[in-house]
Amino acid sequence: MRKLYTWLILLPFCVTGFIQGANAQTSLQVKGKVTSSDGPLPGVSIQIKGSSTGTTTDANGAYSVVVNDNNAVLVFSFIGFLSEEVPVNGQSTIDVTLTEDVETLSEVVVVGYGTESRKNLTSAISTIKTEELNRGAISDVGQLLQGKVPGLNISRSGDPNRAAAIILRGASTLRDGAQSPLFVIDGVIGADISLIAPDDITAIDVLKDASATAIYGNRGANGVIIVTTRRPTKGEGTVSYSGYISLDKVSHQYEMMDANQLRTFVQDNGLVFNPADDLGANTNWQNEVQRSSAVSHNHNLSLTGGGEKTTYIASLNYFNQEGIIRESGLKRVVAKLGVEQKTLRDKLKLGLSVTNSFSDARLVPYRNTVLSQMVSYLPTVPVRNADGTYFAFTTNNHNTDYNPVAMQESATERSKYNTFLGSLTAQLDLPFNLKYNLQASYQSLTTNYGAYYNSYFTNTFESVRNTPDPPNNPAFINITGKDGLAVRNTYQYTNVIFETYFTWDKSFGNHSVNAVLGYSWQENTNGDGFQTSSTNFSTDDVSYNNLSLSNPYGVSDFRVDFGSSIYDQIRLISDFLRVKYDYDSRYLLQLSLRRDGSSAFGVNHRWGYFPSVGAAWRISKESFMDNTSFISDLKLRASYGVTGNSAGFNAYTTKLLYGFVGTTVYQGNTINAISAIQNDNPDLRWEKTSTANIGLDFSILSDRISGSFEVYDKRTTDVIYPYPVNTNQYLYSQLVANVGEVSNRGYEIALNANVVDRGSFSWNTSLNLAHNKNEIVTLSNDIFKADTIRLFAPEGSPGQTGATVQALMSGQPIGTFYTYQYAGKNENGVSQYLKSDGTLTTTASQLTLDDYQVVGNAQPKLLLGWSNNLKYKNFDLNIFFRGVFGSKIMNITRADLFKPSMATINNLPVEAASESVNDVNSFRYSSRFVESGNYVRLDNATLGYNFKKLGQDIKRLRLYVSVNNLFVITNYKGIDPEINQGGIAPGVDSKNFYPKTRTFLIGVNASF
């Protein structure tokens, strides 16, 4: 019976073959032109169906092919367009217009200097489409991607003026500010992300392995994020508007004692308030410092359209976000204009894009000090005295306590920055399947900063304890001046890029080759500006806007602050080559090489080479897979490459520098002393990161389930760090040198499933998981030796001067907590610690550096993102969860609040009510305050309704409501477990966390 079924199936094909053979005629030459709605399409594949014979269209979209059968069928195919099958039927001229395929277009990936079909990638690249980006009141591109890309670790507080920390596949450098991926916006390398209005984004491609990033050479070590924004489109003019308004509430506060709880604790433990420290008040300082609610709104208006030759797009975006901390906020206006013009019989396409972003950031002076004081300041005192003046402690035991509301309201800090980007592109179609591309861009960032500390501030806070973000240590800052202090500065930073390259595309039969050969020139100018300061103002009313009203000469010890910014200029020159080979979409090979030169490095090592190779095998196209119908696609990838890291360097990094190092007396006069402040190093070179990656892409059950699996090994050598050196050999005590090695190994999983697709209801779910193991392999070489470099001394409690909580250690990850091992409490209720010899002690003087132990690290073991999209008729619902597992947090904030014996001086957490006032070690930094950083957050839930059939004038209308950060499941005892994961001291909650908010939002999208 089975054989009979086989013959019945094969019979129609046998008959068809017989008829075709009978009708075979002499060969026929078929010519024609392939176009799209935008004009001729070069590079279109034309295949004779059922054979390997074919050709491609030239630069004008023309083609010619010889068929041996008048009844042959020509198959026209091109990336991003629906394939077209056209019977010849004896015709000698066949013109075809291909239609764009919306689904296939989403599978076109932007790579360095070109595009590629996702199905033919040999690299690890994740693409996030505009509808998949995070929703909400978002001012930072990092927030848009949070949880969306496997391996991309993004952390952010609630501060609208702080960018997210972005780490891809683990940190690979020990330099702060050099860990973030490279951003490329519409082909412009290093473009400022403040230029991007979220509504203008069409897709974001994240290049993760070296096969994808090596084309960017010395800037690709941390990965590359390519942002593609809306381009001019042909057609009837369309006006689009999108906008929302949102309300923010603090999602969580520290559970501090109120005044009555604190009074009870003090009384029960035999303590007594100084009468001046308990005035009968019950002040919630967190509520006083924070807004009860913050309002944000965003509006985006765009126009697009054009004809056969000229197309345009214009957009205007206005964003206004109030910070949940009083006095803070951000306003931003982004304007964009783009025009594309075809000429020379459509062989030349010119593009001009101009974007300008103006931001007005309202900052909180001494922000971290305010955040610290709002939890530690006594609730038993009021914000203001009866006469309306600010309350201030007068006793000596409050030397580091400052009324946080007074600090907020007595100072102003504002930063205005204007970013301009102009880009000119040209693409010329040449004979022999060649294209010539040119892109020239100019970017300028101008900052205008002003800060004013009024007469109350300067006359009250003579010395302020500043608490910067880790790894910088706290320090006291003397407010030198009286009756007001103003600081003004303005700087300009420019970036000029000129890139030109040739692209060659050639297909012959089942073979196709793509080659790119180019040249890049870039020049950066930084710190072109100045700073000044003044004091002794006749009035506070003009703030920092009129320095002529000051009299700094009336304050004898005042010195003008000229700032620390240094003017410098860096030039980068590069050549690059990439060749891709494709056989029948089955066997794929890619080779690339970039040669980079940078003036920032030592004269002996200014040039570097960055090669890569990637290969892929589409297993599903092999004949032995013909009977596995449940597998739609199966592709195995492997790649290896080397990239560099030149971020964070200026023109003087390798130079011998002199500067002021104090004062000295010369001929009876006090003058500035000058000495070396940096050694030269002509052998300094960029860090190199080599990455091996193996990936598997799959699609099963008629594409209902698809995904990818990645395994990688990333190793960075020649890691740069300042090492201590002998001043008998060097002029300065440190030398910036290439010494260490850092390793990152891990895996990533991405899954997508169309769970339900029935009529009016559909449900799509996607899940991504990532694991990374970070390790500092070594901090030494033959010349420089280091095993442990201790970091960050919070010094928030008495008796802990110099006590550090983290360390860079060979064999351990970045973010290793290195401190005392807490061993519970002894029979007297006093905290005790484990010494290196195994004994226990409660005596602080008996603890030494030898007793420090590794007690955890901040690196997460697993990152999770889970998105669900449900549609029912005109309704759509998106629910997105994000999780972090396996990380640890050093809760310095909690440690510094655990001072029961000092309850009459500083407030206590509610949980400290059970602490004994006799525990003199209760606050000591140790493993006691290393907590789990695990959490699962409902990041976003959005419900929308799409109105249809609204008439010819309204093309689209959608209303939606959204909530962000609805809840967090965590055991962390701080405000929020999403502590900064960037830098060399990640995972430290050091009284510097700007509270996150819960956001309720209503918005509209419309097109006319």
Q: Measured between alpha carbons, how far is 61 from 72 in angstroms, rounded to an integer?
A: 21
Residue 627, amino acid: N
Question: What DSSP character marks residue 136?
Answer: S
Residue 46 within a domain? yes
Same domain, 69 and 169: no
153 located within any domain:
yes
- Last-in-domain residue among 185, 201, 232: 232
pLDDT digits 0-9 by tens, 753-764: 999 988 899 999
Q: How far apart are CA 796 and CA 537, in angstroms?
A: 34
pLDDT of residue 43: 73
* 945 belongs to a structural domain: no
Calpha distance 747→765 (Å, rounded): 21
Q: Judge residue 497's burial from the number of C-beta atoms within 10 Å of its C-beta, 0-12 exposed, 13-18 middle, 19 or more buried.
A: buried
Q: In the structure, what pLDDT confidence band is assigned to residue 884 with cuts at 50, 70 and 90? A: very high
Asked if 94 and 157 sit in the same domain, the reply is: no
Q: Assess whether 129 and 223 both reside in one domain.
A: yes
Map 820-881 to HEC letters: EEEEEECCCCCEEEECCCCCEECCHHHCCHHHCEEEEECCCCEEEEEEEEEEECCEEEEEEE
Same domain, residue pair 124 and 206: yes
Q: pLDDT per residue over 699-726, tens digit each?
A: 999 889 999 999 999 999 999 999 999 9
Q: Domain range holding 198?
A: 104-232
Mean pLDDT value across residues 451-467: 92
Q: Which pTM was predicted?
A: 0.88
Residues 263-296: tens digit of each pLDDT: 999 999 999 999 999 999 999 999 999 999 999 9
Percentage of residues in the chain having pLDDT higher than 70: 96
**Is the predicted pLDDT of residue 18 greater than 50, yes or no?**
no
Residues 92 and 78 in one domain: yes
685-698: per-residue pLDDT in tens? 989 999 999 999 99
Please check whether residue 698 lies inside any domain of the structure.
no
Report if residue 639 sits inside a domain: no
Most confident among 224-238, 520-534, 665-679 (mean pLDDT): 520-534
- Is 734 part of a structural domain of the chain? no
Interatomic CA distance for residues 480 and 557, integer angstroms: 7
pLDDT at 892 > cutoff 70 = yes
Give residue 676's region: left, alpha or beta (phi > 0; psi -120 to 50): beta
Domain of 127: which CATH number? 2.170.130.10
- Is 30 within the bounds of a domain? yes
Q: Are 39 and 143 members of one domain?
A: no
Residue 19 pLDDT > 50? no
pLDDT at site 135: 85
Last residue of a domain, one of 232, 260, 292: 232
Which has the minimum average pLDDT: 24-33, 510-519, 566-575, 963-972? 24-33
Q: Which of 100, 127, 160 is the last residue of a domain?
A: 100
Split into its structural domains, the chain has a count of 2
Q: How confident is the model at residue 13 (pLDDT cuts 50, 70, 90)?
A: very low
Lowest mean pLDDT among 214-223, 404-413, 463-472: 463-472
Exposure b/e, 894-912, CB count within 10 A at least 16 = b: bbbbbbbbbbbbbbbbeeb
Query: Based on the domain organization, do 37 and 112 belong to the same domain?
Result: no
What integer pLDDT is reported at residue 915 of this predicted model? 92
H/E stretch holding 62:
strand 62-67
Q: What is the pLDDT of residue 79?
A: 62
Higher pLDDT, residue 493 or 60: 493
Do 39 and 155 have their domain in common? no
